[in-house]
Amino acid sequence: MIRRFFLVTVLLAVLGFSNAACRKERPEPPAEGSPDEKASATKALTVGFSQVGAESAWRTAETKSIKSEAQRRGVNLKFSDAQGRQENQIKSIKNFIAQEVDVIVLAPVVETGWEPVLKEAKASGIPVILVDRGIEVSDDSLYATLIASDFVEEGRMAARWLVEMTGGKVNIVELQGTVGSAPAIDRKRGFAEISDQFPDMKIIKSQSGEFTRAKGKEVMEAFIKSEGGNIQAVYAHNDDMALGAIQALDDAGMNPGRGVLVISIDGVRGAFEAMVAGKLNATVECNPLFGPITFDTIDKLLAGDTVPKKIVNRDRLYDQSEAAQVIDSRKY
């Protein structure tokens, strides 16, 4: 009797122990096909997201979209705001690697300088998804995919609109985005591709306004000081800088939207408000709502499905003619 009791106790202890050890390694999966199966598979996911910062309304909308989609799907999102600095992004990627996240999502502030840290991620077997901005690397196996708009085409769209409005005769000042960033480089290139075809379409000044409203205003004030009445149009690489420039033009009594044409890129609510007020002429939409597509892509990647190397978001231009009609339906 005593012997049997002893055996049972030992057996239970062993079973209990091995069960606990198992549980530590991997949680009991839900029964196959059960309604919770899919949700709980996603729930186990940990994703590190290294964001550029909060320089613009566009950026804030992107952050919100990714955070809320993560929450909706029960993904454990580790969010890191780099405050516009690449070294902060590199640090946070190293942290994500140390924490053994399942996937890293990176919105890279600039195009170059990523190889060493992405090699570390690759060596740890952690896939990296680039969102919204591309990078320059010699080995493109360092990232799984890039989800972004075609910034060159956005620049072309802005320039074509200006050609239509002016017949290709116009003096332009350009407010560039963050130096070295993909959208600043490509939006400048796309615009120039078109404007170069018109000898009287001249970019008389071009400088970075760092994608912010405050810097856009400051640089515009300097442009007004040096060029004054020569300025016939403003091309801003994002809406925030255009809104800053509009303030500077208003302060100088230069009548933005009429006396001086203003065109920008992003399509945020503030831009639609400025179009309704007649101060901004047009904006090229660049959709920041990355949440759903980012997590759909992560699911595909982890399921072993082939994911294209580049997923391109489609953009279009809005001008004052439809701003009032669509403003209420805008999602950001």
266 binds ligand GYE per the rule CB under 6 A: yes
**Stretch touching ligand GYE by CB under 6 A, among 52-60, 90-98, 137-145, 291-299:** 52-60
Region 193-222 residues binding ligand GYE, contact defined as CB under 6 A: 211
Rounded to whole angstroms, the Cα distance separating 224 from 106 reads 37
The tokens for 72 are 């909706």
Rounded to whole angstroms, the Cα distance separating 288 from 72 reads 18
Contact by Cβ (8 Å): 174, 141: no
DSSP type of residue 199: T
Longest CA span, the chain = 105
User: Per-residue b/e over 278-293, b at no fewer than 16 CB within 10 Å?
Assistant: ebbbbbbbbbbbbbeb
51 binds ligand GYE per the rule CB under 6 A: no
- Chain CA centroid to CA 251, Å: 32
Rounded to whole angstroms, the Cα distance separating 280 from 241 reads 12
Rounded to whole angstroms, the Cα distance separating 117 from 137 reads 12
Alpha-carbon distances of 305 from 102, 250, 297, rounded to whole Å: 16, 53, 9
55 binds ligand GYE per the rule CB under 6 A: yes
CB of 194 to ligand GYE, least distance (A): 19
Member of 56, 145, 171, 195 binding ligand GYE (CB under 6 A): 56
Phi, psi at 14, each rounded to 5°: -60, -45
Member of 238, 247, 281, 287 binding ligand GYE (CB under 6 A): 238
Contact by Cβ (8 Å): 302, 321: no
58 vs 272 by CB, closer to ligand GYE = 58
Bridge-partner residues for 106, per DSSP?
Answer: 50, 130
59 binds ligand GYE per the rule CB under 6 A: yes
211 vs 272 by CB, closer to ligand GYE = 211
Amino acid at 73: R
CB of 265 to ligand GYE, least distance (A): 6
168 vs 292 by CB, closer to ligand GYE = 292
59 vs 73 by CB, closer to ligand GYE = 59
133 binds ligand GYE per the rule CB under 6 A: yes
Name the E strands within 52-127. 76-81, 103-106
Member of 47, 51, 58, 172 binding ligand GYE (CB under 6 A): 58
Amino acid at 66: I
CB of 268 to ligand GYE, least distance (A): 8
**Stretch touching ligand GYE by CB under 6 A, among 41-49, 56-64, 78-86, 300-308:** 56-64
211 vs 318 by CB, closer to ligand GYE = 211
**Stretch touching ligand GYE by CB under 6 A, among 55-63, 85-93, 116-124, 274-282:** 55-63
171 vs 283 by CB, closer to ligand GYE = 283
Cα Rg of the chain (Å, integer): 25
**Stretch touching ligand GYE by CB under 6 A, among 51-59, 80-88, 97-105, 324-332:** 51-59
132 binds ligand GYE per the rule CB under 6 A: yes
Give me the residues that bind ligand GYE (CB under 6 A), please.
55-56, 58-59, 132-133, 183, 211, 238, 265-266, 286
